[in-house]
Amino acid sequence: IEKVLSSFHLKVAFTSDEQPLGLLGGSGAGKRMILRCLAGIETPACGRIVLNSRVLFDSEQGINLPSRDRRIGFLVQNYALFPHMSVAQNIAFGLPKKLSAGSIRVQVEEQLLAMQLQGLGDRYPHQLSGGQQQRVALARALASQPEALLLDEPFSALDTHLRSQLEEQMTETLAGYQGVTLFVTHNMEEAYRICPNLLVLEHGKAVHYGSKHDIFQHPATVSVAQLTGCKNFSRAVLQSSQQVEATDWDCSLQVIEPVKSELSHVGIRAHQFIFTNDSSQENTFPCWVVRTSETPHRMTLFLKLYSAGKNSQDYHLQAEVFKEKWATMKDQPFPWYVRLDPLRLILME
């Protein structure tokens, strides 16, 4: 599909099976616009949308099914529950209108049970917690037995503890769902936990599409690597088939992967550095800690290779270690030695 907007030009093509597909990208990447086009809320300028052999949109043939006929469930970011309707009425809204009152009641009860909302059918949205509202919205989306389920950052409005709980429940729900699922997020860890496959977007274009393992282990570009959480990058110059010069780190590195002529950068993830006493190993360099920052369980070490940093911004690399490891390291005299394992180096175009 293709659609021109003021801030970017959306132009993507992809397929998906019954495994959840994560749409990953920063703000303005086009994630939400893709969902809106699939749901029939927005109309692409051109292209084709097919769901289970049913053509939902085809610009050449003049086909553009209305939202109500697409059999797509859409869970929007703020849940969009009807405030004047009870929980049961909100869920029933997603059901076909031709059903009898008895059938509607049975299916609503089934959804309440599946979403652990028993006894809440008569309540109104303002009487529910954020997590309960989300589950009602998901129940409403699933009630119509859609062939595709579109999830637009479903955990963004929730606190950390509740997010973890509902993520588990969502994963369980999706495991039993037989349709296509598209899951929009800008949180790469969330995407990794929920989605086997990822479509990485940037300015309306797909920059990487494949299994989550391939995208995290072999990101194609610096921007994709950044989205997957990589913090260390250097411009790179090819020296030989197994060696590159990392110009921003002032070092030469042995690599395992064949180096392509399109090489532009080399990277390594912060948790993959090896601190060692053996300075003779390949890709091992003396380093000094310029400064540190901490989270409850980890320390981030800002490292300068070859000499001490002149100020807090004078560093080459960020390394992450658990605090238990930090406790054994912190009092050791400098220089320390850090190894950039050739197996862990990321080569990017």
pLDDT digits (tens, 9 = 90+) for 61-84: 999 999 989 999 998 877 788 999
Q: Give which of 86, 145, 93 is closest to 121, Cα–Cα.
A: 86
Q: Which residue has the tokens 């540190």?
A: 292
Mean pLDDT of the chain: 91
Alpha carbons 157 and 201: distance in angstroms, whole number: 22
CATH assignment at residue 33: 3.40.50.300
Q: What is the pLDDT of residues 276-321, one digit of tens each?
A: 999 999 999 999 999 999 999 999 999 999 999 999 999 999 999 9
Between 319 and 94, the more confident residue is 319
Check whether residue 114 and residue 248 sit in a common domain: no
- Of 226, 255, 271, which residue constitutes the final position of a domain? 226
Q: What is the pLDDT of residues 21-31, one digit of tens each?
A: 999 988 888 99
For residue 172, pLDDT over 90 is answered with no
Alpha carbons 200 and 294: distance in angstroms, whole number: 29
For residue 210, pLDDT over 80 is answered with yes
Tokens of 244: 């590159």
- Of 188, 205, 226, which residue constitutes the final position of a domain? 226
Helical spans, DSSP H, in the chain: 31-39, 87-92, 101-114, 130-143, 160-175, 188-194, 212-217, 222-227, 323-329
In the chain, % of residues over pLDDT 90 = 61
For residue 157, pLDDT over 70 is answered with no
Contact at 8 Å (CB) between 31 and 23? Answer: yes
Give the mean pLDDT of 132-154. 88
Tokens of 229: 């959480």
Chain Cα centroid distance, residue 122: 36
Tell me if 231 is assigned to some domain: no
Check whether residue 28 and residue 140 sit in a common domain: yes
Check whether residue 28 and residue 119 sit in a common domain: yes
Check whether residue 267 and residue 218 sit in a common domain: no
Give the mean pLDDT of 91-111. 87
Q: Which residue has the tokens 């380093």?
A: 287
Question: For residue 332, what are the contacts with CB-CB under 8 A and spacing of at least 6?
Answer: none
Chain Cα centroid distance, residue 119: 34
Alpha carbons 32 and 133: distance in angstroms, whole number: 21
Check whether residue 247 and residue 265 sit in a common domain: yes
Check whether residue 219 and residue 268 sit in a common domain: no
For residue 268, pLDDT over 80 is answered with yes
Check whether residue 313 and residue 205 sit in a common domain: no
Instruction: Identify the DSSP state of 58.
Output: E
Instruction: Identify the DSSP state of 46.
Output: B
Alpha carbons 91 and 87: distance in angstroms, whole number: 6
pLDDT at 233: 97
- Of 167, 193, 226, which residue constitutes the final position of a domain? 226
Tell me if 161 is assigned to some domain: yes
Check whether residue 141 and residue 56 sit in a common domain: yes
Q: How many domains does the chain have?
A: 2
Q: Please, is 322 exposed, middle or buried when counting C-beta atoms within 10 Å of its C-beta (0-12, 13-18, 19+)? A: exposed
Tell me if 314 is assigned to some domain: yes
Residue 293's SS3 state is strand
- Identity of the amino acid at 133: Q
Check whether residue 172 and residue 242 sit in a common domain: no
Check whether residue 286 and residue 182 sit in a common domain: no
Tokens of 148: 């595709």
- Give the structural domain span for 151: 2-226
